[in-house]
């Protein structure tokens, strides 16, 4: 392969050669044809001729250098328009070759980034389909839920289940949060959802179902990754609320006319930590019309504004109280709007999921039209 001079050497060398050629021509005229030089006006013509030759060489040199720069500019313009299927090779000088390699490496990274974005978009679309597309109808209850992810995909999850051992018309809701967020958490969520759905029809109780999911999560999850989950059963006919928690915040109960949430107690170890973990089922039997129940991941009340102050449970309860005469779906929308206004331009660092359950009152509007 022919060794090419660097541009920083080639340019001065070419200029020196042009000047040397002009001076040589002028010396030859003075040495061998002095009569031409001695004529009036001949010196000026010679100088002009030499200058013209030098300019011609200079123009040729500029065009030679400008051609790869123009090609590079056009190539970068195509990259800017999303054409990532072409490489470039500028072989005129070593500097241009090095620049070609650098641009080609950049384009390769852009290709990988574009492929990753397509994969993330596909993953987000798949995960969106795993969330409930509609809310089942439950006698005496109004239910709605929402999920927002801080990345294209996330580890939050909620679902509506059917457990054969529970009374007909009982609302069974699962909500969970895989540690971290992003694709890895989304895969963990999808796996837990599959186990939960495959087992729920045969489970004798919430605690048995949670124990089975835990064993599968321990077998499938990598070291250091865990998941919190809350299973809740609300039976309006029996005025009963049951739950089993694997490290997840217990149901938050909001009484009519009472500020703040009623803090229910009863949570066990998260899923994926110990295969032999045992879970307990807890019960509250005094549900009354007008009460509201919030099931949520910690991303809701931990979402912070630009000053780092969290949204908090008190603000969440206040929003729900202010909208208590509206449907569960409208309350979910009000929480989302207040959360957005509170956080402003602050970056969301965790996924947010929540489910609102209203115990219907006789004077409530038709709550079945979601």
Whole-number pLDDT of residue 258? 84
- What's the pLDDT tens digit per position in 87-130? 887 776 677 777 788 888 888 888 777 776 676 666 566 666 67
Q: How would you classify residue 235: left for phi > 0, otherwise alpha for psi between -120 and 50, otherwise beta? A: beta
**Structural domains present in the chain:** 7-114 (no CATH), 131-359 (3.60.40.10)
- What's the pLDDT tens digit per position in 15-30? 666 667 766 766 776 6
Binned at pLDDT 50, 70 and 90, residue 369 comes out as very low
Whole-number pLDDT of residue 363? 44
Let me know: does 264 contact 243? Beta carbons within 8 Å.
yes
């Amino acid at each position: 392969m022919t060794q090419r001079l660097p541009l920083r050497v080639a340019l001065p060398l070419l200029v020196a050669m042009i000047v040397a050629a002009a001076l040589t021509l002028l010396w030859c005229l003075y040495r061998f044809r002095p009569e031409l030089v001695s004529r009036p006006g001949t010196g000026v013509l010679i100088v002009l001729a030499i200058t013209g030759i030098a300019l011609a060489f200079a123009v040729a040199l500029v065009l030679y250098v400008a051609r790869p720069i123009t090609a590079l500019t056009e190539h970068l313009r195509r990259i800017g328009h999303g054409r990532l299927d072409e490489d470039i090779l500028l072989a005129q000088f070593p500097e241009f070759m090095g620049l070609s390699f650098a641009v080609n490496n950049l384009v390769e990274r852009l290709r990988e980034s574009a492929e990753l974005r397509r994969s993330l978009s596909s993953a987000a679309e798949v995960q969106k389909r795993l969330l409930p597309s509609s809310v089942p109808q439950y006698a005496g209850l109004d239910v709605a839920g929402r999920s927002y992810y801080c990345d294209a995909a996330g580890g939050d999850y909620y679902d509506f289940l059917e457990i054969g051992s529970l009374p007909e018309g009982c609302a069974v809701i699962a909500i969970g949060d895989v540690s971290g967020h992003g694709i890895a958490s989304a895969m963990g969520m999808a796996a837990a959802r599959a186990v939960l759905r495959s087992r729920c029809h045969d489970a004798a109780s919430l605690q048995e179902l949670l124990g089975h999911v835990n064993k599968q999560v321990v077998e499938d999850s990598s070291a250091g990754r865990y998941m919190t989950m809350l299973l809740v059963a609300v039976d309006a006919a029996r005025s009963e609320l049951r739950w089993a928690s694997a490290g997840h915040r217990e149901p938050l109960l909001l009484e009519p006319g009472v500020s703040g949430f009623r803090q229910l107690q009863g949570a066990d170890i998260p899923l994926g930590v110990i295969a032999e973990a045992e879970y307990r089922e807890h019960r509250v039997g005094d549900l009354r019309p007008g009460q509201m129940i919030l099931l949520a991941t910690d991303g809701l009340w931990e979402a912070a504004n630009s000053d780092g102050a969290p949204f908090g449970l008190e603000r969440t309860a206040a929003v729900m109280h202010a909208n208590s005469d509206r449907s569960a779906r409208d309350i979910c929308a009000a929480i989302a709007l207040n959360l957005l206004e509170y956080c402003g331009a602050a970056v969301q660092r965790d996924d947010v999921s929540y489910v609102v359950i209203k115990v219907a009152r006789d004077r409530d509007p038709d709550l079945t039209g979601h």
